[in-house]
Amino acid sequence: MPYLAIENIRKAYGPAVAVDHLDLGVEKGEFISLLGPSGCGKTTTLQMIAGFVEPTQGAIALDGIDLSQLAPEKRGLGIVFQSYALFPHMTVAANVAFGLEMRRVGKAEIRQRVEQALAMVGLADKGGRYPRQMSGGQQQRVALARALVIRPAILLLDEPLSNLDAKLREEMQLELRQIQRQSGTTTVLVTHDQQEALALSDRIVVMNQGRVEQIGSPFDVYERPGSAFVATFLGRTNTFSAEPTPQGLAVAGHVMMPGERPATISIRPEKVDFTTEGDGLPGRVLTRVFQGNHWLLHVQTPGGLCLVIRPNDGRPVPGEGEAVVLVFRAGDASLSLAGSSP
Average pLDDT, the chain: 92
- Lowest-confidence region among 18-27, 31-40, 208-217, 221-230: 221-230
Q: What is the mean pLDDT of residues 238-265?
A: 94
- Lowest-confidence region among 71-85, 209-223, 241-255: 71-85
* Sign of the four-CA dihedral 221, 224, 226, 231: positive
Q: What is the mean pLDDT of residues 305-333?
A: 95
The whole-number pLDDT of residue 136 equals 84
Percentage with pLDDT > 90 across the chain: 74
Per-residue pLDDT band for 174 (boundaries 50, 70, 90) equals confident
Domain ranges of the chain: 4-227, 236-337
The whole-number pLDDT of residue 340 equals 54
The whole-number pLDDT of residue 339 equals 55
Reported as a single tens digit per residue, the pLDDT across 38-58 is 999 999 999 999 999 999 999
Query: Is 32 or 340 the better-scoring residue by pLDDT?
Result: 32
d(CA 145, CA 97): 9
Per-residue pLDDT band for 240 (boundaries 50, 70, 90) equals very high
The whole-number pLDDT of residue 42 equals 96
Per-residue pLDDT at 342 exceeds 70: no
Per-residue pLDDT band for 168 (boundaries 50, 70, 90) equals confident
Q: What is the mean pLDDT of residues 79-96?
A: 89
Per-residue pLDDT at 84 exceeds 80: no
Per-residue pLDDT at 163 exceeds 90: no
Instruction: Looking at the structure, give the CATH architecture of the domain made up of residues 4-227.
Output: 3-Layer(aba) Sandwich (3.40)
Per-residue pLDDT at 187 exceeds 90: yes
d(CA 103, CA 109): 12
Which CATH code fits 236-337?
A: 2.40.50.140
Reported as a single tens digit per residue, the pLDDT across 257-276 is 999 999 999 999 999 999 98
Per-residue pLDDT at 338 exceeds 70: no
Per-residue pLDDT band for 335 (boundaries 50, 70, 90) equals confident
Per-residue pLDDT band for 137 (boundaries 50, 70, 90) equals confident
Per-residue pLDDT band for 228 (boundaries 50, 70, 90) equals confident
